[in-house]
Copies of this chain bind each other. A is one copy, B any other.
Amino acid sequence: EIQNALEAFFTKPLTLQGVHVLVTAGPTREMADPVRFLSNPSSGRMGFAIAEEAARRGAEVTLIAGPVELSTPPEVHRVNVVSAEEMYNAVTKHLSAEAIVVKTAAVSDYRPKTYQAQKAKKEDGETVLELERTPDILKMLGEQKEAQFLVGFAAETDEVETYAKDKLERKNLDMVVANDITADGAGFAGDTNEVMIMTKEETHRLPALTKRETSVQIWDAVEQNRCKGQG
């Protein structure tokens, strides 16, 4: 921590001092009964790196994290949640009017319609799990947007740029970070990432970088574009 502090002091101006940053990270789990859930393989590493870099630049960082095995970065306020609904409520609660919101979490879009309080016993043969949509956090953020700067992530397996561009427009985002999770060295669980940073005006392709290096590039891009919007 001392090393981080020294590094920040000598090499970086505190470009986000006084800015509120809200980051969501990790997967969510949608329980069908006490022992069975729907989830996804998000490790939370990208979001934790983004929260850490924002704190290093002086921001007031709230990190809303799904169930992951990562320690909280220095100077970050962490809120733990399990389900998409809990994450939605935590985002609503901690959102401020002028925040920069970076939604890296891989939120389950469906959840079991019913929850069985007792562990379901096995039955032979086939069955169906009835699913309903979870609340759409990014859509809500786009709809209520005032002075916030919204950054979404798009994890895609095909037509990455098309889908990401569509998400940017449809959800009223200021920036989308898109990646092809089928590419080598990209995606959910690894330590590296290979992303495109997209705004309405331009697309900037980054090379394969560690998640920490990627987070530096993302914050540089956010700071540039945010000033543009205000100027």
Residues in chain A within 8 A of chain B (CB atoms): 29, 34-41, 67, 69, 106, 108-110, 113, 117-119, 122, 124-133, 155-158, 181-182, 188
Question: Which of A39, A113, A188 has the most C-beta atoms of chain B within 10 angstroms of its own C-beta?
Answer: A39
By a CB distance below 8 angstroms, the chain B residues around A155 are 35, 119
Asked if A35 contacts B118 (CB within 8 A), the reply is: no
Q: Can you offer 24 A-B residue contacts whose CB atoms are under 8 A?
A: A34-B157, A35-B41, A35-B155, A35-B157, A35-B188, A36-B40, A36-B108, A38-B38, A110-B127, A118-B157, A118-B158, A119-B155, A119-B156, A119-B157, A122-B133, A126-B130, A126-B131, A126-B132, A126-B133, A127-B131, A128-B128, A128-B129, A128-B130, A128-B131
Complex CA–CA separation, A69 to B109 (angstroms): 25
6 nearest A-B pairs in the assembled complex, by CB-CB distance:
A129-B129, A128-B128, A119-B157, A69-B69, A35-B40, A126-B132
Residue ID in chain B nearest A82 by CB atoms? B41
What copy number does this chain have within its complex?
2
By a CB distance below 8 angstroms, the chain B residues around A118 are 157-158
Complex CA–CA separation, A122 to B40 (angstroms): 15
Known contacts A34-B181, A36-B40; is A125 also within 8 Å of B119 by CB?
Answer: no
By a CB distance below 8 angstroms, the chain B residues around A37 are 38-41
Residue ID in chain B nearest A33 by CB atoms? B157
Rounded to whole Å, the gap between the CB of A35 and the closest CB of chain B is 5
Complex CA–CA separation, A39 to B32 (angstroms): 10
Asked if B130 contacts A125 (CB within 8 A), the reply is: no
Residue ID in chain B nearest A116 by CB atoms? B157
Residue ID in chain B nearest A38 by CB atoms? B38
Known contacts A113-B126, A118-B158, A157-B119; is A181 also within 8 Å of B35 by CB?
Answer: yes
Rounded to whole Å, the gap between the CB of A125 and the closest CB of chain B is 7
Rounded to whole Å, the gap between the CB of A93 and the closest CB of chain B is 25
Complex CA–CA separation, A115 to B73 (angstroms): 36
By a CB distance below 8 angstroms, the chain B residues around A67 are 41
By a CB distance below 8 angstroms, the chain B residues around A125 are 132-133
Asked if B109 contacts A34 (CB within 8 A), the reply is: no
